[in-house]
Structure 1
């Protein structure tokens, strides 16, 4: 289908439209109005006015007494009802992002002019939510202990969600929420309705000051058709706006090594506590420009942190051991303007800025020569126009431009050496590198409430003309040792560069366009039963690129056209290889139907059943799927030297080769151009999951509720990068007789053939904030497996199948994000005297890790063979994770609304060591032992405290 036809269909749909739900910037208010006998009252005028900004919208109850007001900016509203002959009523409630708040009225006959005002709690149960998720409120954001003050930390409070660091080292200080067995890359991050995703490595891009975050809705499974670009979950964040009163804040949080406990790494190496000092400070201000009409808000936050990382090379390089500095700086700023153009049109414009400088690749087993400094700069400009068109029609238009630039410099150009125990020295093979992304996003959502149907149609278009990556694999050869000794045998020597050159780097340009169209219907079948029906279509261009410059690609195409990969003479299956005989084409069949239901069993919102099923497509982030193949297509950079012998490389005289000696003869023969490290399928696919859920919510009274949700997600077309051109019985490589030049090298094929499965059940208890107490606690029992990655169902890893002759026959393995048992509990308690106590407890059962022999038992050229009796990858289990954090604060009233809050926060109060990253190779003396602990870089913290002060006015 041509682009013109796609857009023509969209415009036709918008013109003839049929209606929907609130998108990721607003919420919906609805309810039923009846008389004293419980009979429906039609024709009642309903007005909702924001108590802080004066913004208001109106509606009228229909023949069933039902009213609905969509497109309300997040906040607290006073809802008034008026009908001649009846006493006017007013109730106060809150509206949350991408949620429906229900407020019912029972009106009485007026005996005189009167108005009845009732204070109503925000509804504890969203009777229209068919999927699974949770709203993190302003009270939780303001009061719970947050290490680093990143809002993503709070996402871990949502049932079924884990918290870890983003696995890509370019985001070394960024926390990542994990859902459905993922590592944080299968989540769609929307800030004020705008795309905030990294299209290179996945995950969150820009960070925002915590004081600018109003609230967010984390939909972990089974969200509606108006949201896509994720086969896991979606986080919809709304930033704060100004109000009719000038309000502001200023704060400072401080840490010092005198407030810290020793890390485990410091303890076992008998080191004193490393230098540690952190300042995190900022301010915010908002208020009216024109009361009830125009408001502004701004916030700024800075992190200035100086910590250390102890390094031990485990006796291999004593002169490289020590304690080394880890400087980290970050600035975040937001400015926002909101303006009610008229009673029917509401405009919001927001600018965000973020930059940082942070360590790259720091590790307790790698000295600073293998590190780097990662510098990031982000800009985003977001505009949203919310328009009531009359007759129950609402239109929301969003535009966003975003800019991202990353540069990682190298700390050295020394040869790289790696050992089985995890020690590595020399230049990081991933430095230097840069990433640049420019995005233009246009989105329109049209809603029409018509009778019992709440219809919505919409389209989204993201143009990313710049997605550029430059990188190098080091300036010197890379050596792999067979044992934990500097004089041990070397199994692999490799070097990338250009023919006749001496190393260097390459540039990948991956411009792309992302189209999405959807139609959605919320059908109120009865006053208790609602069906949520939708269908979505996603289409991405830019993945079926020209690879004719890639030597491997040309030879695979020639072989496929000869029918080699359909021949029984070649040990197969070679799933995906047969596609090299076909013309490149984009993935065009990404149709995603979705259906769900809610049933209000008692009709009063206290017992709600929900469930549904649907398909969810993601964006195949480029690093996992095509990045290195794009580089390979340039034919100017790739492998120019390779020597491999899993029994130990030898010199011409038969002695074992040692680092520093002249390099042995190159095993790459007949090579006229560099052999790339990757080649991609000419028929790329976007990954997806088929999801289902079934559960219920039950209100217990006094603001408490319990929820139980069973969830299931089956993933398909996940990116895998297997090495299949291995040696056969220590001899020639598998394709040596088929691919004349590239058949002598080792390389990976980027395919979309991976699968995954996640199943879990969440048990939740929660209590609504009543000014005294808020509670959210959950237990999750789950199972996550994948055939595509060791790390997570949304990760790629460097996948090496157990058998190169049956690469997709491996049993699905547990991922490292497969935590069978998870417990999370949080509370905000304000007993009296301005005192607030807020704990968070997190527990995860043992993480999986891989177990390999460390020897080449099948002589295929790799040392990743499984030991006897071990049938799957990731068969080992490490240690449990647990952490208790606490925040205690005292608010001191100074004058009027001005107050000073004195804060003390403690993290990991039990000083749990929380071991991680286990040695996989059985040849290592450290086999099965963890290499990282709490307090190490990119790990949870050892016990530490921080002090803070906050002024609010």
Structure 2
């Protein structure tokens, strides 16, 4: 196990301005930041029978699970407020001399909830106690936020594929699981979700009030937004178990549209995870979840090709134990989760086809092409390529261990600490399918917190966190599909293999690589403090949140990339179209962000609550750390005059005007508080770091050289490796405009929420947002003689708009049924859905011409979840015992498809990489044509597209084709057996995609490369971002059996 090093903390004090920042944090400790706290608040009015305020009434809020008591008192307005209450079950007692004492039990406080509970005290002796009807109000009457809370009971009973919270994310209106983007440099975008029309890297995850956005990529060159505070620290399997296992989760809240200044740092969804703590009762559980291919349906493409099901083995096992160390004072909660997985997969790819006639390979070429699997589908003598369909099993492991300890020194002072260690690893076939990539990911977090009450109306919370995540990747080959692994000497010649990466690719097939990819690591320090105080009808909050992330990137020291335009041409001339040699240096970056806010929640009247204030974001450009050099650039608005700034110049100038005003209003017009009208408006800023971590990865950290028409074989690839230099001509450059601003989003909403009879709530919400000065990267190719390659310039040239109608019905557990239904009708538009726009060699893409539906635009989306405890039949006791204890649960998701467009692929002789553009459309031709032999019964019409005669953007619009839809139902049947006293045994069967409805990913849509690129070649679960495909929506039916023994 890796250990924490105190030296990392000392790095904070390397520079004087760092000391100033830390001093500022503690100077502002009295004006802290409830923004990150998962705790909730209870407040309300205490009145006498004539409706007059009662001053000085004693309030006592008691946590029924831990016995901890939280005192309070009403002020001159008769208002009380008890902040910083951990989520859990409570009862409230109100006492005042001359009035009877009232007790209200069975109040469940959710994460970040603001409950308004009013009391009218009857006249009488304080010794007389009256217990009133319990339960928390189902409608939050004092919040203007649009949010969804998934409580512990729902989490425990729903079928969660992969035992991650990804399934639960969809149970919130406005949340879309995004597709993996294609055609953008650097591979996939970070993140898995678009929330409220925001980019996938605009979401903020917190665990116990501190940031969980410290994820790092295993990519050697392109980090994307990982490593600078935008990407979540998910496991190698793509799930949240690296942060919190399901058993260790108390509940979570997703804020999709909030106008309280306490929320921020990013404009997307605020995902607030709260971990479980121990109680006064010992409770524990051991469990095992099991899957096998014998219980699953086959992949549609494997069936279509007559291939059997690949092997599947999945065991998810573990347990937890929680309880008191000292009753009513000290508690612990320990959790362990282990996973062992063999994931069945089916791949359909294009591979070289070799024979003795027109597709014979020269001796120097044959080893390179033999490293691909052999075709087992249709072949083309004209292109010397063929289809290959293969079934295989990828493997993955996870071990997540956590321990939380809570200690209450008194009712006014409490502490907690939580440690989490979660190594994970994947072993996967990718791209050529004869290539295997091993990717270990290690995650550690350590969080501590202090809650303090001062006087009658003031509370303070301090949280500190240190987190780290490391990820590396190595690629190799085997004999899958008849492949013959290529010896590295065929690519490298006599060049040393140590820390050298080698790869081969053609335009019309996949690619493969050999050797180390990267070894990267992030380290996060997050300090959060908050102060909450009441003044009359005002509840004031002030705060600061300081975070610093260190990113260490260690790519392979050198790389040789062999590229051929087409297999046929390679066979005919025995030459590579180009060979790219690169040398790389390790780099380190430091990203700092500080947030301040001031907020007032004003109980303007008994029916109107206003929340308003300001948030101030300070986010300087990421800075090189240690010996790393990073290049800043001058005159970027004039390509002919772009010049290198002196080293040490910030990547962009820091802006101090990032002040975000917010206002939200909640109005309760009825007398019973059963109707709430909400509305709000606010400005939100994003981090703006984009792909800053790639700056040093290219120039000056990388030297690259492209050589054209290279004859095979290669005697010594070392001759193609350039020597890094700080002098022009400069190789591939990643740059930012020196006047870069933080991206901002204007957001507004209006909502109506109604409490119906039978504990049912319906909500209708309009949500809008307008993104301005978003990041977008443009590719300038050899802008002036000082450059030998592309100049990738990131600036504030993107914008977005989103409008949505969101409907929600919820019925908390009442009787035997719990139900949640959501529907969203929305349209998301932008001119770039992530930070990178693919370039067209020799041109600059107009920002305005790309304005269209977002990559994650989903016009219609429905999700629903239910749990139902089947009543035990009456009659014979033996029969009732046998038939009792059964329950049903399910999750249903249906949505329209993701948009996409055709793509023209070009091999750039400038960068050595691929460039994508759009084709021309042919008038009068339909985009889709029927084909009963393909997935979904249709394919793109090859006659509807034409490749432009010159290198330019075609006439087809961006994202103008509607993709395949999704429909899936996950169901669960469970039985609980009582085992002595309070012990129980749970048996459960989960069926994911129970109806085995086929869902498909969009075609690759590469124009001019044959029909396979115009058809869907994968099920949807393989096309969606991040999460392991077995656990993602859109796959074939999969059954899971589980046993739990608990007490």
Q: 2:499 is matched with which residue?
A: none
How far, CA to CA, are the matches of 2:907 and 2:169 in structure 1? 43
1:434 aligns with 2:487: no
Correspondence list, 1:868-879, <5 A: 868=921, 870-879=955-964
How far, CA to CA, are the matches of 1:353 and 1:765 in structure 2? 38
Q: Secondary structure of the equivalent of 1:510? A: strand
How far, CA to CA, are the matches of 1:785 and 1:708 in structure 2? 22
Contact 2:991 2:1040 in 1 (8 A): yes
Report the Cα offset of residue 629 of structure 1: 1.5
Q: 2:881 is matched with which residue?
A: none
How far, CA to CA, are the matches of 1:608 and 1:261 in structure 2? 47
Contact 1:218 1:236 in 2 (8 A): yes
Q: Secondary structure of the equivalent of 1:108? A: coil
Q: 2:744 is matched with which residue?
A: 688
Report the Cα offset of residue 246 of structure 1: 0.7
Report the Cα offset of residue 38 of structure 1: 4.0
Q: Which moved more, 1:455-464 or 1:474-483?
A: 474-483
How far, CA to CA, are the matches of 2:300 and 2:189 in structure 1? 20
Q: Secondary structure of the equivalent of 1:84? A: coil
Q: 1:778 is matched with which residue?
A: 822
From 503, 511, 517, the equivalent of 1:425 is 511
Q: TM-score, normalized by length of structure 2?
A: 0.79
Contact 1:137 1:216 in 2 (8 A): yes
Q: Deviations over 1:310-353 (max 9, x none)?
A: 33433535438543331100011110111111120011111111
Report the Cα offset of residue 223 of structure 1: 4.4
Q: 1:931 is matched with which residue?
A: 1017
- Residues 326, 749 of structure 1: CA spacing in aligned structure 2 closer, same or farther, 3 A cutoff? same
Contact 2:199 2:268 in 1 (8 A): no
How far, CA to CA, are the matches of 2:831 and 2:134 in structure 1? 50
From 768, 779, 782, the equivalent of 1:712 is 768
1:866 aligns with 2:919: yes
Correspondence list, 1:215-234, <5 A: 215-234=251-270
Q: 1:728 is matched with which residue?
A: none
1:144 aligns with 2:230: no
Report the Cα offset of residue 266 of structure 1: 1.3
Contact 2:590 2:623 in 1 (8 A): no
How far, CA to CA, are the matches of 1:530 and 1:193 in structure 2? 25
Q: 2:878 is matched with which residue?
A: none
Report the Cα offset of residue 182 of structure 1: 4.2
Contact 1:25 1:236 in 2 (8 A): yes
Q: 1:190 is matched with which residue?
A: 206
- Residues 166, 849 of structure 1: CA spacing in aligned structure 2 closer, same or farther, 3 A cutoff? closer
Q: 2:789 is matched with which residue?
A: 745
How far, CA to CA, are the matches of 2:186 and 2:344 in structure 1? 19
Report the Cα offset of residue 56 of structure 1: 1.1
1:307 aligns with 2:321: no
Contact 1:21 1:455 in 2 (8 A): no
1:378 aligns with 2:439: no
From 298, 322, 325, the equivalent of 2:393 is 325
Q: TM-score, normalized by length of structure 1?
A: 0.86
Q: 1:526 is matched with which residue?
A: 605
Q: 1:602 is matched with which residue?
A: 670
- Residues 681, 893 of structure 1: CA spacing in aligned structure 2 closer, same or farther, 3 A cutoff? same
How far, CA to CA, are the matches of 1:207 and 1:12 in structure 2? 31
Q: Secondary structure of the equivalent of 1:716? A: strand
Q: 1:502 is matched with which residue?
A: none
From 759, 765, 768, the equivalent of 2:812 is 768
Q: Deviations over 1:669-688 (max 9, x none)?
A: 99977613423333444333
Q: 1:640 is matched with which residue?
A: 705
The answer for unaligned runs of 5 or more in structure 1 is 499-504, 568-573, 644-649, 652-656, 726-732, 790-794
The answer for unaligned runs of 5 or more in structure 2 is 1-15, 217-225, 234-241, 353-371, 376-387, 478-487, 492-501, 872-883, 924-954, 1023-1027
How far, CA to CA, are the matches of 1:357 and 1:534 in structure 2? 44
Q: Secondary structure of the equivalent of 2:264? A: coil
- Residues 8, 331 of structure 1: CA spacing in aligned structure 2 closer, same or farther, 3 A cutoff? closer
- Residues 797, 339 of structure 1: CA spacing in aligned structure 2 closer, same or farther, 3 A cutoff? same
Contact 1:495 1:639 in 2 (8 A): yes
1:213 aligns with 2:249: yes
Contact 2:203 2:268 in 1 (8 A): yes
- Residues 314, 2 of structure 1: CA spacing in aligned structure 2 closer, same or farther, 3 A cutoff? closer
Q: Secondary structure of the equivalent of 1:675? A: coil
Q: Which moved more, 1:36-45 or 1:135-144?
A: 36-45
Report the Cα offset of residue 474 of structure 1: 7.4
Report the Cα offset of residue 718 of structure 1: 2.8
Report the Cα offset of residue 208 of structure 1: 1.9
Contact 1:419 1:484 in 2 (8 A): no
Correspondence list, 1:402-421, <5 A: 402-412=467-477, 416-418=503-505
Q: Secondary structure of the equivalent of 1:230? A: coil
Q: 1:586 is matched with which residue?
A: 654
- Residues 893, 668 of structure 1: CA spacing in aligned structure 2 closer, same or farther, 3 A cutoff? closer
1:32 aligns with 2:100: no
How far, CA to CA, are the matches of 1:386 and 1:536 in structure 2? 23
Q: 2:896 is matched with which residue?
A: 845
Contact 1:534 1:594 in 2 (8 A): yes
Contact 1:97 1:217 in 2 (8 A): yes
How far, CA to CA, are the matches of 1:682 and 1:546 in structure 2? 19
Q: 2:695 is matched with which residue?
A: 629
Contact 1:513 1:541 in 2 (8 A): yes
Report the Cα offset of residue 485 of structure 1: 8.6
How far, CA to CA, are the matches of 1:906 and 1:942 in structure 2? 10
From 522, 531, 537, the equivalent of 1:452 is 537
Q: Deviations over 1:807-861 (max 9, x none)?
A: 323241322211111000111111323222111001120111121345799x999
- Residues 235, 862 of structure 1: CA spacing in aligned structure 2 closer, same or farther, 3 A cutoff? closer
Q: Which moved more, 1:433-442 or 1:750-759?
A: 750-759
Q: Secondary structure of the equivalent of 2:302? A: helix
Q: Secondary structure of the equivalent of 1:459? A: strand
Correspondence list, 1:655-674, <5 A: none
From 614, 624, 636, the equivalent of 2:682 is 614
RMSD: 3.8
Q: 1:366 is matched with which residue?
A: 432
Q: Secondary structure of the equivalent of 1:153? A: helix
Q: 1:204 is matched with which residue?
A: 232
Report the Cα offset of residue 203 of structure 1: 2.9
Report the Cα offset of residue 802 of structure 1: 10
1:398 aligns with 2:463: yes
Q: Secondary structure of the equivalent of 1:916? A: coil
Contact 2:259 2:681 in 1 (8 A): no
Q: Secondary structure of the equivalent of 2:673? A: coil
- Residues 659, 750 of structure 1: CA spacing in aligned structure 2 closer, same or farther, 3 A cutoff? farther
